[in-house]
Structure 1
Amino acid sequence: MTPMTTAERRGYHQICDASGAMMVIACDQRGGMRTLLAAAPEEQAKITNETLGDTKCDITRYLASKAGCVLVDPICAVPGLVDNDILPRDTALLIGIDASGWDTSPQGYRISKMVDGIDARKVRELGATGGKIMVYLRMDTPAANVQNLETLRRSIEDFAAEDLLLVVEFLTYQLEGESKEEYESKIPSLIVEGSRACLELGSKVLKIPYPGTEEACAEVTKIAGDVPWAVLSAGVDHRTFLGQVEAAMKNGASGVIAGRSLWKDCISLDRNATKEKLSTIAVSRLGDIQAIVRRYRGAEGVAA
């Protein structure tokens, strides 16, 4: 595995909380956030980047201020979070470089897209602690991954050249013609092998979907070695995510990067209602997650 440089390690420490665990609030979604704010496509289309930015500011103010870090996009959220003094002084900032949505190859594979003009140097210029990239992988189908792994390789090299922390995320997906049952049976293997592929390219911090079983969580930890990994929420309900966090932390995860499971039913176009729900419902949920994480990491101090 590729060890962190001093600068990358410092960035990693900053995205962790006082227990030494990754504790990141994710709100880098754009299209997905629009679907939560409005049901009809025509209404979603009317939601401006400024409105999304306001929502991300509220999530930062009420949630990220109680965590170690916030993950946002470079389109709606920055530089406003920094320039308007919304991001707390001691809350780290990750900026996602992946674009919303995906392209589809003639074979039906998802091709990951990056935001134009956003590279490691630009992420640094925006005041971030580090970057985050997401690519789609189906490791049982090598042809599906060629372009996405090349995109990932270039980004890892770019951030390494800038000596800036990069969190690597991958998602799996159901192939055309594949049944839901068939796909779900493959998830543990897909997550383990996707993690392996990212590590082989030099990833130094992983953000991954719940691997499906405790055994798969332990296998990810085994192959990751000293590379820390965090489990993402993928929009599951709060109770389900708590169980996933418990299983992941019990089997070697280094923390959580949580988004929709915290705030998906707390945000609306009524900012006053959003603030009320974020400050009560979402903050309470965050406390539940933190209690689990600290039960496993509290005695260890800052890790990695």
Structure 2
Amino acid sequence: MSAMTTAELRGYQQICGDEGAMMVIACDQRGGMRQVLAATPEEQAKISNETLGLTKADIARHLASAAGGVLVDPICAVPMIVDEWLLPKNTGLLIGLDASGWDTSPEGYRLSKLVEGVDARRVRELGGTGGKIMIYLRMDTPAANTQNLEILKSCIEDFAREDLLLVVEFLTYRLEGESKEGYEARLPYLIQDGCRACLDLGSKVLKIPYPGSPEACAEVTRICGSTPWAVLSAGVDHSTFLGQVEAAMSNGASGVIAGRSLWKDCISLDRAETEKKLTTIAVPRLKELQAIIRKYYRPAYRKAA
């Protein structure tokens, strides 16, 4: 396992809540957020990056201010939310490196993409506490992962040179022709093997999908050892996510990096309506998540002397 440096640990502390567990509000989505804000592709295409940036600023103001940090993209949200004093001064800022969507190989594999020109140095210039990279993995199909793992390796090395925190996220996906039932049966092992691959490359903090069961969460914790991992919401409904968080936290997870489960029912192109729903719907949801975190969290990471 790769231990965090003192500088990386300080960044990690800044994305954690008062109890020491990760509690980050994810709003780095672009295409996904447009799909929430408008029903048709034509309407979605009319939503500007500036409008997305203002929506993300509203989420940061009402949710991230009560959490440990916020995860945003470098296209719509920064430097605006910093330059215009829209982000609370005690809120950690993670900046996503991944571009929206993915390319597809001739074999049908998902190929991860990065935002051009955004590296560790740029994240630091934008005021980031750290960065986040997301890659796609199918660990039962080695040929699907070669390019994506090379991207991850390069990013980990880049952030290490800058001594800057990097949160590593991976997602799995169904292959062409694969049944839903077959994929779901493989999912816990895909996630466990994905954790191993990321750790082997030197990942120090993981953001992963729900592994599928309490037992699978416990196995992820065993694999990760002292490396902290957070569960992501993947857009499931809030009540479902609460159950997943309870299973993850009670079996060794170090926190939550959650987005759509909190705010997807709250945002709209009417910012006044967004503010009302974030306050009355999303904030209570956040408090429910924080209550579960407080109930189960036990510090797992301590930097070696």
C-alpha separation in 2, matches of 1:28 and 1:104 = 22
Per-residue CA deviations over 1:42-77 (Å, capped at 9, x if unaligned) read 000000000000100000000000000000000000
C-alpha separation in 2, matches of 1:260 and 1:189 = 25
Superposition pairs of residues 35-184 of structure 1, within 5 angstroms: 35-184=35-184
C-alpha separation in 2, matches of 1:303 and 1:30 = 35
Determine if contact 1:19/1:302 at 8 Å carries over to the other structure.
no
Secondary structure of the residue aligned to 2:99 is strand
Partner of 1:231 in structure 2? 231
Q: Does 1:21 align with 2:21?
A: yes
Per-residue CA deviations over 1:215-250 (Å, capped at 9, x if unaligned) read 111111111111000000000000100000000001
Determine if contact 1:81/1:87 at 8 Å carries over to the other structure.
yes
Compute the displacement of 1:303 (Å).
Answer: 5.8
C-alpha separation in 1, matches of 2:261 and 2:86 = 23
Per-residue CA deviations over 1:103-159 (Å, capped at 9, x if unaligned) read 000000000000000000000000000000000000000000000000000000000
C-alpha separation in 1, matches of 2:197 and 2:292 = 29
Per-residue CA deviations over 1:20-43 (Å, capped at 9, x if unaligned) read 000000000000000000011000
C-alpha separation in 2, matches of 1:118 and 1:300 = 32
Kindly provide the amino acid, as one letter, of the partner of residue 264 in structure 1: K
Q: CA RMSD in A?
A: 1.1
C-alpha separation in 2, matches of 1:63 and 1:3 = 30
Distance 1:243 1:303, change over 3 A: farther
* TM-score (normalised: structure 1): 0.98
Distance 1:303 1:271, change over 3 A: farther
Compute the displacement of 1:213 (Å).
Answer: 1.1
Unaligned runs of 5+ in 1: none
Unaligned runs of 5+ in 2: none
C-alpha separation in 1, matches of 2:22 and 2:149 = 25
C-alpha separation in 2, matches of 1:303 and 1:230 = 16
Q: How many residues align?
A: 303
Distance 1:211 1:29, change over 3 A: same
C-alpha separation in 1, matches of 2:265 and 2:28 = 16
Kindly provide the amino acid, as one letter, of the partner of residue 48 in structure 2: T
C-alpha separation in 2, matches of 1:184 and 1:272 = 40
Compute the displacement of 1:300 (Å).
Answer: 4.7
Partner of 1:282 in structure 2? 282
* TM-score (normalised: structure 2): 0.98
